[in-house]
Chain A
Amino acid sequence: MRKTILLKAIALLLIISSCSNDDGEDLIDFTVNFSSETVGTSEEDTTKEITLSFSRPASEAGTINVTYTGTNADYGTDFTTTPDGASGTIAVSVAAGDQNASFTFNKLSNAIEGSTKSVTFSIDSFDQTDWKQGAKASTLVSYTPVAATGGVVDTENGGSTIPNQVYFDFSSATQIAVQRDTWEIALYNGTENRVYLNSALAVSAVEITGETDLLAITEASDLPETMDLFTYSFISQQMEPVSVSTLAGLLEGLPVGYEQYGNLDEGISFTDNAEGTLEGTAFSEVSTTAEENYVYIVSLGYEIPTEPAETGSIATTGDHRGFMKVRILGDGSTYTIQYADLAETESYNEVTVSKDDAYNLTAFSLSNGETVSVEPTKAQWDINLSGVFAYYGSQGPIVAGLTYSDYVLHNTLGDVGLYQVTIEEGVSSYANFSMNDVDESAFVYDNRAVVGSGWRDAFGGVVNENVYYVLKDGDGNYYKFDFTAYTNTEGERGHYQFTYERL
């Protein structure tokens, strides 16, 4: 008998020890939030969808009861809702598996100048006992437009080849994505006559000082005067001087790369400076005297690779897109762009572009010979998630053409100020940062590259959790924003996410 018991004990042990807890039943709480704390409506809007978001898909069906209070707005005369809310409660039904639910706000009247008019909707109760209210349990629907108070933005930069640059406007919560290889140069619409390069495509340009005849210069030409430059040498791992007297020699050091030529002491850089100041462009200021505007050789940057990179890596620079020669004239209100292939000696193209005050810059495609819509109007964007960004500058002991990824700029030409907060002892965390913490003197208006790529640690594979940013837009709205991801969940780079909140 004793043996039988022992055997049973052993067999039981065999059974017990061979199973393990593999079932992940512990789901997170089901909480309901309004997707936004405020909803603005314009005069044209007659209906508005109000969305309630869930922390996870609903595991069973149920109903959310929403109540409302109006400020100078009454149910039936100023607004109605669908489903009907005449009783004072709107019953929003949820089906199992839903990620969110919504109801419709029907606007029956408009705001009267000088008085506020709004309706506040609040989550009142649920018919499921385990459902909970989240932090955003109410939302204010205004009869006038309101600046967005916050949100989470998944940028549309497009993945590991970072095909797009993204412009984002905080107050209207809009992002605009533009493929970064659609343009090479951009014309400044302000008082000065300036030409910017597309740094997101690593475009670079060199002035052939003294040469005004576009057709006279080809790859075989000698330079009017010898240029004394420097280049980084991989062999000696030092900067070494290089003298260039032919255009062919110069072209070797024109494209952005570690071996790009330059001479910062003499102010010679074939790229715009990182800061994006008017004085820092590779092109000299366009003179209204035609003879003072010389020919430029433009390196058109690098193709966007067609194949995505290995997971966790990026591939942003493909084949070199070649060279063109360009001469830009201006009369103060228009620019005249003369351009041709480098080998061309017979004729060139000429396009005249008028300044448009609504925009900082007007982008132009040398490849297609036409202006391209890239930037939104200057009041309609605050940051540019440029993705790729290249400039000639120093990195440790070397000075070279550097290409960054995951780069972020802010709209200094449109009077947007920004500064970085580094979390340390005595500094508020992102969550606790409030209007009282804003340091007005810290806003930077003369350097677009404050954010740069410092928000992430590409080697560690993580977002830099020690920093966040404070921004003041052209209309005086204050925002804080913090990056939360630079890869998608599947590990592919070039999918950024940030969260922001109005202060």
Chain B
Amino acid sequence: MSLNKNINLLFLTFFFFVIGLAQESKKQQKDSLSMQQLDEVILTGESKVMSLSKKLFSVGTIDQKDIAKVAGNNLADILNYNLNITVTPDPSTGRSTISMFGLDGQYVKVLIDGIPMASDNGMGNNIDITQINLEDVERVEIVEGSMGVLYGDNAVAGVINIVTKRGLENNHKWQLQLSVQEETVGSEYALFDEGRHIQNVKLSHQLSDKTSVAIGGSRNDNAGFFNDYQGKDYVNIQDNTVVNDSLRGMEWNPKEQLTVYGNLNTSIGKHNIFYKIQYYDESVPVYNHLVNGRLDPNTGMPNPTALDENFDTERVMNNLNITGPLKGSTVYNLSLSHQTQKRYYKQYVYNILQQGIESVIADDLSQSSKIWYSKGFVSNMVPNTDFFNLQLGYEFNHQTGFDAIATGEYSSDVVENTLENYDFFGVLDFNITDRFSIFPGARFTNNSQFGNKLIWSLSSTYDFSNSFKVKAVLGSAFRAPNFEELFFYFVDSNHNVQGNPNLDPEDGLSVFLNAEGKFRLSDSSMLKTALKSFYFNIDGKIASIISTDDQDRNLFTFDNVDRSQILGFSLENSLMMNRWQASLGVTYMGESTTIDASEGISSDFLWSFNLQSALSYSIPSINTALSAQLKYTGRSQVVLSGTDGSVVGQTDDFTWMDASARTNITKDLSITLGARNIFDIVRVNASDTPTGAHGSGGAPSRLFGNGRSYYLKLLYNLNFN
């Protein structure tokens, strides 16, 4: 494949480049970094994008060190360990989406430096988190609760913000980072065609005091998970006849991802400008488990073929962020973004014995979207008083595109749709006493699809002391109907399934009550404890319904009929003691669903329990850090509407554990050796999945992992002037 050859060429170029530089750099070895310097840089490099939300909501952070502990290459590798987030992979499409507080990925908004990310299914939500590369990421911020006022539509369960690394970490002019990561997929590994192979390159340069640039690339070649399937070239031929044992293909299809990025960070006067460009390409083949066993009429010999598919996604992102003072301590923050995404769909006949494509049935651009986005706000507008302050902002989004697959194969209506919204928002600060503050906020949205919408929030904080704080947050947000719910079309003599263009957004409301305490136990140890309770109410939840069309035929469509309530409590503790770091969190959460709210019958709350724990220990004498993470995901239950009324389906509990050791062999070279999924989770029994989804039958189950895997990561970090 030409792509592979190009990549090889690219790395070959780097190879010689690096050798040349390495000779140079010997002289620079003495410039070692002190830890102190590093800390300072991180503090000053922190972006202010999320500063407001920290005041209003509770924000969790996963920083570079946490990412390094699990050798995370993409967001799916690290989010597993968040207490209230579950990563759900879909093996057939290769997509991994998240659910937060039991709400699926459509209720979670993913931002890159505060800007919503274009995705297969819209903007910002329902993101395939395996597509988010972590190589140039400073940290990941997780905000819980309905954040509609600050972040607009779909920020119902929460927001995940990916913060890009800006500038260099030290006083050097150049930094080159090279890393390779070889990983098994379960017990499967081979140098080329099994396992996971990751290569990263990043080059940063400090042009002047005020300007830095970085370019880099990351390639993740995941050969997929066979799990007793026999691959694309398998066929069972007995007595000159193909026997369809459904063993062809893969449990989890392969995925090849390439991310190339560049960014520029500069200051003009007091104004900071940050520009980021990113190109992403992903290719996912889907191998059919069924084999067509036609015989060659000439020879009478089987000529087995299979109907395979390939999805290729391409995305280009241009983000620009400018911040600076407006007047006095009043500051502005302006973001501009242009993003394009294209998905190509190919369907072809694969000849198994000849190992080649026999004919191509479809090779089309199946989805495309172009997005213009801008957001701006001015904060600290009333700098002269301590009692009162104001932040005002706007958000604009213009999106054009089509999705042939979501609208269905039979839609004659695969036309470009345009969505546009203009939002204005404001948040007031009332600092009633030194200890007690109230922050009311509101956002007005005008959306070309569903008109006007007003959302609001109210938070208040009370600081009993510097180390013990209480916070209450009321917030609202809505989830906009997705493309399929609006525009799906499949009508023929046996089917009548149509989207409903008149759908309203789902209204979400959240209440959070947090109490947070910090306790210094000794000179070198500290305990942080947070007790949190939360409640979500989602009204007008979109569900599929059966109604009749104007010809009195049964019509399967969607409407805002359901309601969902979530209630939960969590306790999170973290302890830092000498060389030890430990954390333990538990959450107990229940969900009550009302199917067809007009009938007013709510189900009981169905409760689930999650536990998360992490432990790390550093051994400075040998430059080594050991860490382990554990997450117990309790049994989860959902109400499903079956043919005989509603039934409760459940996914059984499972425990996920990783462990790793990271050591610096030299100042510039570090090795991470680790194991993922130590309890060897593959499938978990789940009665809430459609039966028969898995070819081999048996108990219905859901795939969460690909078994215990091991990885080795070599990171080379070269600094020079």
* B14 in contact with A27 (CB, 8 Å): no
Q: Identify the closest chain A residue to B490 (Cβ).
A: A310
Given A17-B182, A17-B199, A18-B199, A26-B349 contact (CB < 8 Å): no
Residues of B within 8 A of A3 (CB): 22, 26, 666, 668
Q: Identify the closest chain A residue to B232 (Cβ).
A: A24
* Minimum CB–CB distance for B624 against chain A, Å: 18
* B239 in contact with A15 (CB, 8 Å): no
* Minimum CB–CB distance for A316 against chain B, Å: 9
* Minimum CB–CB distance for A456 against chain B, Å: 11
The answer for the CA separation of A15 and B23 in the assembled complex, in Å, is 21
- Residues of B within 8 Å of A, CB-based: how many? 66
* A485 in contact with B192 (CB, 8 Å): no
* Minimum CB–CB distance for A138 against chain B, Å: 15
Residues of A within 8 A of B359 (CB): 489-490
B280-295: CB near A (< 8 Å → 1, else 0) gives 0000000000101111
The answer for the CA separation of A140 and B290 in the assembled complex, in Å, is 38
Residues of B within 8 A of A152 (CB): 295-297, 300
The answer for the CA separation of A359 and B7 in the assembled complex, in Å, is 70
* A19 in contact with B4 (CB, 8 Å): yes
* Minimum CB–CB distance for A129 against chain B, Å: 21
Residues of A within 8 A of B22 (CB): 3-4, 7
Residues of A within 8 A of B492 (CB): 309, 315
* B493 in contact with A315 (CB, 8 Å): yes
The answer for the CA separation of A25 and B356 in the assembled complex, in Å, is 9
The answer for the CA separation of A26 and B180 in the assembled complex, in Å, is 31
Given A4-B19, A28-B353, A100-B178 contact (CB < 8 Å): no
* A17 in contact with B197 (CB, 8 Å): yes
B220-260: CB near A (< 8 Å → 1, else 0) gives 01010000000001000011111110000000000000000
The answer for the CA separation of A74 and B22 in the assembled complex, in Å, is 85
A434 located at the interface, meaning its Cβ lies under 8 Å from any Cβ of chain B in the complex: no
* Minimum CB–CB distance for B46 against chain A, Å: 31
Given A14-B199, A17-B199, A432-B239 contact (CB < 8 Å): yes
Q: Which of B7, B244, B295 contacts A497 (CB 8 A)?
A: B295
Q: Which of A13, A310, A488 contacts B410 (CB 8 A)?
A: A310
Given A17-B197, A53-B298, A489-B305, A11-B178 contact (CB < 8 Å): yes
Q: Identify the closest chain A residue to B666 (Cβ).
A: A3
* Minimum CB–CB distance for A284 against chain B, Å: 33
* Minimum CB–CB distance for B241 against chain A, Å: 7
The answer for the CA separation of A482 and B23 in the assembled complex, in Å, is 71
A191 located at the interface, meaning its Cβ lies under 8 Å from any Cβ of chain B in the complex: no
Residues of A within 8 A of B223 (CB): 20
**Which of B201, B239, B292, B359 lies at the interface centre, i.e. has the most chain A CB atoms within 10 A of its CB?**
B292
A465 located at the interface, meaning its Cβ lies under 8 Å from any Cβ of chain B in the complex: yes
B1 located at the interface, meaning its Cβ lies under 8 Å from any Cβ of chain A in the complex: yes
Q: Identify the closest chain B residue to A462 (Cβ).
A: B244
Q: Identify the closest chain B residue to A13 (Cβ).
A: B180
B668-698: CB near A (< 8 Å → 1, else 0) gives 1100000000000000000000000000000
Q: Identify the closest chain A residue to B245 (Cβ).
A: A465
B18 located at the interface, meaning its Cβ lies under 8 Å from any Cβ of chain A in the complex: yes
The answer for the CA separation of A154 and B295 in the assembled complex, in Å, is 9
Interface residues of A in 139-171 (CB under 8 A from B): 150-154
Q: Which of B221, B233, B358 contacts A489 (CB 8 A)?
A: B358
* Minimum CB–CB distance for B203 against chain A, Å: 14
Given A100-B298, A310-B410, A318-B493 contact (CB < 8 Å): yes
A462-503: CB near B (< 8 Å → 1, else 0) gives 110100000000000000001011011111000001010000
Residues of A within 8 A of B294 (CB): 154, 484-485, 488-489, 497
B307 located at the interface, meaning its Cβ lies under 8 Å from any Cβ of chain A in the complex: yes
Interface residues of B in 280-335 (CB under 8 A from A): 290, 292-302, 305, 307
Residues of A within 8 A of B546 (CB): none
Residues of A within 8 A of B238 (CB): 429
The answer for the CA separation of A179 and B355 in the assembled complex, in Å, is 37
The answer for the CA separation of A366 and B667 in the assembled complex, in Å, is 93
Q: Which of B197, B239, B298 contacts A429 (CB 8 A)?
A: B239
Q: Identify the closest chain B residue to A314 (Cβ).
A: B494
* Minimum CB–CB distance for B16 against chain A, Å: 8
List of 7 A-B pairs having minimum Cβ-Cβ separation, nearest first = A24-B355, A431-B239, A53-B298, A11-B15, A17-B197, A20-B192, A485-B294
Given contacts A4-B23, A20-B221, 10 further A-B contacts (CB under 8 A): A11-B19, A13-B180, A14-B201, A17-B199, A153-B297, A429-B238, A432-B239, A463-B244, A484-B242, A484-B293
Q: Name A's B-contacting residues (CB within 8 A).
A: 3-4, 6-8, 10-22, 24-28, 31, 33, 35, 51, 53-56, 99-100, 134, 136, 150-154, 305, 309-311, 315, 317-318, 429-432, 461-463, 465, 482, 484-485, 487-491, 497, 499
